Amino acid sequence: MAYDADVIVIGAGLAGLVATAELVDAGRSVLLLDQEPEQSLGGQAHWSFGGLFFVNSPEQRRLRVRDSRELALQDWLGTAGFDRTEDHWPRKWAEAYVDFAAGEKRAWLHRQGMRFFPVASWAERGGYGAAGLGNSVPRFHVTWGTGPGVVEPFARRVREGAARGLVEFRFRHRVTGLGNTAGVVDTVTGEVLAPSDAVRGEASTRRVTGAFELKAQAVIVTSGGIGGNPDLVRAQWPERLGRPPRTMLSGVPAHVDGLMLGIAESAGAHHINRDRMWHYTEGIENWDPIWARHGIRILPGPSSLWLDARGRRLPGPLFPGFDTLGTLEHIMRTGYEYTWFVLDQRIIGKEFALSGSEQNPDLTGKSVRDVIGRARADVPGPVKAFMDKGADFVVEKDLSALVRGMNALTEEPLIDEAALRREIVARDRATVNPFGKDAQVTAVRGARRYLGDKLIRTVAPHPLLDPAAGPLIAVRLRILTRKSLGGLETDLSSRVLTEGGDPLPGVYAAGEAAGFGGGGMHGYRSLEGTFLGGCIFSGRAAGRAAAKAVG
């Protein structure tokens, strides 16, 4: 039989690039398909903050953070909460990934030219107990160059493979079916879309200009998740998180539609844990959007006062940066789909980071001078732009004006100034007392025991109503779609499995399409910094396994 290539990779995001790079290293020929134009090479990883999960890294050790494979696995399992029969392979992938993160991961990436910001951040802090969910120590390492810095070494390797004649790009190829010969999937069919000059992230035309049929010895599915498809998000929304939101901001473009998952299912793949998903509660509307409903996530330090739509403080430990899905569940049971941060300029200047490569030009551009400038600024430039132009921001000199501004942003004027003032005054009293019962203030003081937080991430506790720390700021926060945690079930070689547990001959999967490994290696929750790493790890496994199988 004549093949068009040894392997067809469907999806030119990070996982697809990694898999293709590994295939090239093994001397295999690859057709790399993607429905988007060439300018979108790298997929959603390009837009990311570039956070990676390392265990016992040099960055941790320099700041006296004691970490280990055992502690990381304890945190992972306590966060994942694996409790289903179909969690067999996801748990194995989780254990293998922690071994990777505690072992060769950083050195392997470093050899390819990647470098990392010297201060590890503390994401998803938990707060329920040592064996419960969350990171016991800071493990979130920002790549120097953010998302583009993660994509670049793999894109370079793939382009070198193209120069050698081993890789052929087929952009604007939308897959609609997988076919087989004698039970082995070897055929990919679909539609050729019209050329598009849409910039990265913008919607490209869906006008069909032709059809294609391609054959290979193996197919690797790296098509991503469902975050750009709000209807599918709502359809798969789990009852445990309350009712699905009527409106959501989108953290990814609309072409992240999840349709390839259904195509793989039709070919015999087993899609598991589809009700597990990861959406953020600190979404704000992008004042300069690239795609429809474009939202940006605030990466908050721990000091902002978090209020529900009626102005009631969220219960502990639902503090900023502690428990993403616990907060989401709480919000969706309030009857409203938004919450508020109330803070001051002192807090926003040090504790607000914005997720996304385009929101961090200093790190993305690898400018030491600009990073130093950010640290010295009262408020970083991208954050200041949202303060000035963002639809969700209220900035005022006094609390009365702040409450009026908050109520003006919503359909109902739900915030009572007197009640909010009582809450803030009580909180402020706790900040000037070395003792006290306010759990959030205690958590802030604990965070500042980590030198990295004290230097660049967390302000000293202080009264919000202190004019010297002002002006006061309120930020309306909305639900922001982001990641699928379930996906196509795979074994440790990234072979896609059928419902009966047998490999689906010829098919592999990696990245978000495979739940980052196994069909959901995160379980119910993520420790953060693990999505890009999951794409890299599973993409590497898929590329190596497929290369061996077709050799």
In the predicted structure, residue 169 carries a pLDDT above the cut 80: yes
Query: Stretch 531-542: mean pLDDT, rounded?
Result: 98
**pLDDT value of residue 240:** 94
Q: What is the model's pTM?
A: 0.97
Q: 5-223+485-549, what's its fold?
A: FAD/NAD(P)-binding domain (3.50.50)
Select from 317, 351, 14 the least CA-distant residue to 158: 14
**pLDDT value of residue 551:** 80
Query: Taking a C-beta distance cutoff of 8 angstroms, is the pair 224, 487 a contact?
Result: no
In the predicted structure, residue 65 carries a pLDDT above the cut 90: yes
In the predicted structure, residue 202 carries a pLDDT above the cut 80: yes
286-480 CATH choice from 3.90.700.10, 3.30.420.270, 3.40.50.720, 3.40.190.10: 3.90.700.10
Could you give the CA distance from residue 260 to residue 267 in angstroms, rounded to a whole number? 11
In the predicted structure, residue 1 carries a pLDDT above the cut 80: no
Query: Stretch 187-209: mean pLDDT, rounded?
Result: 97
Query: Taking a C-beta distance cutoff of 8 angstroms, is the pair 150, 45 a contact?
Result: yes
Q: What is the location of CATH 3.50.50.60 in the chain?
A: 5-223+485-549
Q: What is the location of CATH 3.90.700.10 in the chain?
A: 286-480
Query: Stretch 351-359: mean pLDDT, rounded?
Result: 95
Could you give the CA distance from residue 257 to residue 428 in angstroms, rounded to a whole number? 45
**pLDDT value of residue 375:** 87
At 186, the pLDDT band (50, 70, 90 cuts) reads very high
What is the per-residue DSSP string for 99-133? HHHHTTHHHHHHHTT--B-SS-B------S-TTSS
Query: Stretch 484-506: mean pLDDT, rounded?
Result: 98
**pLDDT value of residue 450:** 97
Beta carbons within 8 Å of 459's beta carbon, 6+ residues apart: 301, 303, 346, 347, 350, 351
**pLDDT value of residue 21:** 98
- pLDDT tens digit sequence for 260-289: 999 999 999 999 999 999 999 999 999 999
Query: Stretch 379-404: mean pLDDT, rounded?
Result: 97
Query: Stretch 135-163: mean pLDDT, rounded?
Result: 98
Q: In this structure, what token pair is assigned to residue 310?
A: 């009626």
**pLDDT value of residue 62:** 97
At 73, the pLDDT band (50, 70, 90 cuts) reads very high
Query: Stretch 393-397: mean pLDDT, rounded?
Result: 98
